[in-house]
Amino acid sequence: MSASQHARRERQELADLMLATGPDAPTLCEGWTTRDLAAHLVIREARPDAAPGIVVPPLSGWTERVQHATAVGQSYPELVRKVRTGPPTLSFYAVPGVDGLANLNEYVVHHEDVLRAQPGWEPRTLDSDLADELWGRLRRMCRVMYLRVPVGVTLVRTDGRGGSVVARTGDPMVTVSGSALELLMRSYGRRAVNVEVAGDPGAVARFERARIFAI
């Protein structure tokens, strides 16, 4: 299955999960309900004037206002329908190939953000080709994601084909071990993950306090 196919499937499964949990369910995104997350996904693809504030802090005020207006200005089923059907025709995200490139991580992580915030959640077992794709992307991105972490970090994949990558050089070094999905989630700053962090206790404590990446 291609990256675009995986992204489309994650989108559909996330939409299904959002409808099942309802608009007021918690997520791992601090302060956001499922309604807020749905609004975020809609404006990311449909409001180019507001999307930059998602990653550029000085522009975040406008993005927050647009997201709030989007969240309260329409019914929750309509918001989820827009998440499910994808970007408008003229959106950058509608360009062929962009979905798999720009949306796969986004929808995998946010799928987990909803799932893992619910009581009694169970971990998913990913298709091997999806897990390999996520691991490959993480290997390419991790040096940027861990740029501000004050210790060295090695990521060790424990599922599938295994493997490791140095996400940040440094001394002391901590080792973070887990499946491709768990390492991806931790690398995006999520804490509801099943990883093992090993190393000098002081270095581990500094790692755990550090702010990594976020979407």
pLDDT band (50, 70, 90) for residue 16: very high
* CATH number of domain containing 185: 3.30.1050
pLDDT per residue over 181-213, tens digit each?
A: 999 999 999 999 999 999 999 999 999 999 887
Does one domain contain both 111 and 18? yes
What pLDDT is recorded for position 172?
A: 95
The residue with greater pLDDT, 53 or 4, is: 4
Does one domain contain both 105 and 137? no
Does one domain contain both 94 and 143? no
In the 3-class helix/strand/coil scheme, how is the chain assigned residue by residue? CCHHHHHHHHHHHHHHHHHHHCCCCECCCCCCEHHHHHHHHHHHHHCCCCHHHHCCHHHHHHHHHHHHHHHHCCCHHHHHHHHHHCCCCCCHHHCCCHHHHHHHHHHHHHHHHHHCCCCCCCCCCCCHHHHHHHHHHHHHHHHHHCCCCCCEEEEEECCCCCEEEEEECCCCEEEEEECHHHHHHHHCCCCCCCCEEECCHHHHHHHHHCCCCCC
Question: What does pTM read for this prediction?
Answer: 0.92
Does one domain contain both 71 and 142? no
Q: Which of 115, 144, 171 is the last residue of a domain?
A: 115
In a domain, 214, yes or no: no
Which whole-number Å values give the CA distances from 149 to 93, 184, 187, in the listed order? Answer: 31, 16, 11
pLDDT per residue over 65-102, tens digit each?
A: 877 887 788 999 999 999 999 988 888 888 888 888 88
The whole-angstrom distance between residue 184's C-alpha and the CA centroid of its chain comes to: 8
